[in-house]
Amino acid sequence: MPPDSQLTPRQLFRLFDSGALSREQLREALQTHARELIDEMEDVHANPQASWLESMISKHRAGRLARQHGEPKVREIFLALSELPNFPPAQFLWNADHEDVPLHCFLRSRREPLFQVVKIVSAPFMLLVTIDHGSVKKGEATREVFTLERDRLGVLTVIQREVQR
């Protein structure tokens, strides 16, 4: 089992429900996530202009994704990616199915960690999704191509993951 800080809250609750985590272990792991959120809010407060610009760019990109592919499909893709082991952006995507969280909140283009959807290609029974994540420095971001398909229950899952750079 990976360290608690690498698990998303959704994964932590699943472990708690199965009895693999005690209530105290769950609280400690969730405190790590709460600290990260507080640090992010402090960063936004410290640099409001950069945060506003980041927000505008993210809203534009989220709107384009929603128009081209539909918001439910984009959220479903994000949720499938959040279940991947050793995928750092999962920490920001774990609640993508909560419709009260705006879609633009999951995208990050000017602050680390970067998370951008480069391309989504829909085929009849699968999706190819290209994502940039990691460093915001030019040429240092990790680009990955994910192949997703629906399982027998209709849930979108990642079946292949390929790092391009």
- Output the pLDDT for position 141: 92
Return the domain boundaries, the chain. Answer: 47-163
Looking at the structure, give the CATH architecture of the domain made up of residues 47-163. Roll (3.10)
Q: What angle do CA 19, 21, 25 make, to 5 degrees?
A: 150
Q: How many CB atoms lie within 10 A of CB 5?
A: 12
Q: How many CB atoms lie within 10 A of CB 71?
A: 15
- The arithmetic mean of pLDDT across residues 8-14, rounded, is 90
Where does the pLDDT of residue 5 fall: very low under 50, low under 70, confident under 90, or very high at 90 and above? low
> Taking all residues of the chain, what is their mean pLDDT, rounded to a whole number?
91
Quote the CA–CA distance of 107 and 92 in Å, as a whole number. Answer: 9
- The arithmetic mean of pLDDT across residues 133-152, rounded, is 92
Contact 109, 54 (CB under 8 A): yes
- Output the pLDDT for position 4: 47
The tens digit of pLDDT for each residue in 59-71 reads 999 999 999 999 9
Higher pLDDT, 11 or 165: 11
- Output the pLDDT for position 85: 85
- The secondary structure of residue 163, as a DSSP letter, is E
- Output the pLDDT for position 1: 46
Tokens matching residue 94: 């774990």
Higher pLDDT, 3 or 20: 20
Higher pLDDT, 165 or 106: 106
Number of H helices, E strands in the chain: 5, 4
The tens digit of pLDDT for each residue in 84-129 reads 988 989 988 999 999 999 999 999 988 888 999 999 999 888 999 9
pLDDT(47) > 60: yes
Where does the pLDDT of residue 152 fall: very low under 50, low under 70, confident under 90, or very high at 90 and above? confident
DSSP-based three-state secondary structure for 108: strand
Tell me, yes or no, if the pTM score tops 0.95: no
